[in-house]
Structure 1
Amino acid sequence: MTDTVAGTTTRTTTTADAARIATFAALLAVLGLPGSIALFGNAVPITLQTLGVMLAGAILGARRGALAVLTLLALVAAGLPLLAGGRGGLGVFVGPSAGYLVGFVAGAFVVGWLVERQRRVTFLGVLAAALAGGVGVVYAVGIPVQAALTGVPLPETAMLSLAFLPGDVLKALACAAVTAAVARAYPSALRRPGQEG
């Protein structure tokens, strides 16, 4: 009887986790629907999908947030046009955006890891996590890879990437506002290390 109950709890948790991960992968895909904008000749477009990366980490936690991004990228690799501008297929993983896609996974993990370690989820705490993971980590991976793949010197690529910064700060602010609201209205929705359900 105890084994059955324990087994049921484990299956429920796994099913609930899978549903949350799939939901955030879908959110990431939806955030790509408005399309993309390329500014100042940058080979990498501006998209809303970074907001989804931040939210996935902040609300789902490090591991589940990263898995949500990986789920989206697996669907993209299978050929579904789920990235901003209707991009999909294996080609995107060798294009100028490839480093940012890898950075999405690492960024979601870092945002989640930082939020998980906050004793109380606050707007400023989530904002700091979103800026560190969703902006800092994504740029730290994306910019060098973009420079290597495009042949544009790293300092010039970094300067071109400053066009992303105002929008990404706004996305971090939006992530902090949404996450803080979720923490107040439905605190059990935010995941903590070792938390079940």
Structure 2
Amino acid sequence: MSVRDIVAVALLAAFIAVLGLFPAIPVPVIPVPITAQLLGIILSGAILGAKRGFAACLLFLILVAAGLPLLSGGRGGVSVFFAPTSGYLISFPFTAGFIGYFYSLFRNSLTPAKEILIMMVGVFCINHLFGIIGLVFIGGIDFSKAFLGDLIFIPGDMVKIVLAYLIASRLRRALPDAMDGNR
């Protein structure tokens, strides 16, 4: 990785941490709050590409594991990876990597519909799937309750996806050389 790549990875990891300053909104059905940090995960993949997006999210999780209170609500430490929210957290690098990979794959033919679809598939098929698995196996929650409880995140995640699309598409027009997803 070049110095430019390292700086980009660190900046996106810091952005994800800053999004943790927004207060978490508790969900009555499952012990997982609504947070703003998924916006940073989506943007990591869309802006940095698969490898650097994965690296930014992994760096963020390493900092959380080291005990820095970077998660919404000031949480951090290894214990968060053994809590009901762990599946969602573990999915962060994979979600960003997926989004970045498909952004790179379609970079010459991206349309607004393709961008939003890539983000939706990444969020709903990776982030939500990992989250439900974490709720079931680590949180000890029945699958049907975990699945139904996860549905509450869809409207907010759609807002984050649209925001991520608007930010990423504007950045791509403003900084086309910096948005090379193949890096």
Q: TM-score range by the shorter chain?
A: over 0.9
Alpha-carbon displacement from aligned partner over 1:78-115 (angstroms, at most 9, x marks no partner) = 10000011000010010011111111111000010111
Q: How many residues align?
A: 182
Unaligned runs of 5+ in 2: none
Show structure 1 runs of 5+ residues with no match. Answer: 1-12
Structure 2 counterpart of 1:182, from 145, 155, 171: 171
Paired AA for residue 114 in structure 1: F
Equivalent residue, structure 1, for 2:46 = 58
Moved over 6 A (4+): none
Matched, 1:152 2:141: yes
Residue type of the alignment partner of 1:97: T
**1-structure distance, mates of 2:166, 2:114:** 11
Per-residue deviation, 1:123 = 2.4
Query: Bigger shift: 52-61 or 137-146?
Result: 137-146
* Distance (whole Å) between structure 2 residues aligned to residue 42 and residue 25 of structure 1: 27
- Give TM-score, length-normalised by structure 2: 0.95
Q: Which TM-score applies when normalising by structure 1?
A: 0.88
CA distance in 2, matches of 1:191, 1:45: 33
1:128 aligns with 117
Q: Check if 1:19 corresponds to 2:23.
A: no
* CA distance in 2 between partners of 1:55 and 1:45 (Å): 20
Work out whether residues 53 and 134 of structure 1, in 8 Å CA contact, stay in contact via their aligned partners in 2: no
**CA-atom RMSD, angstroms?**
1.2
Aligned residues: percent identity? 37
Higher Rg of the two aligned structures: 1
Contact 2:100 2:181 in 1 (8 A): no
Does 2:24 correspond to 1:36? yes
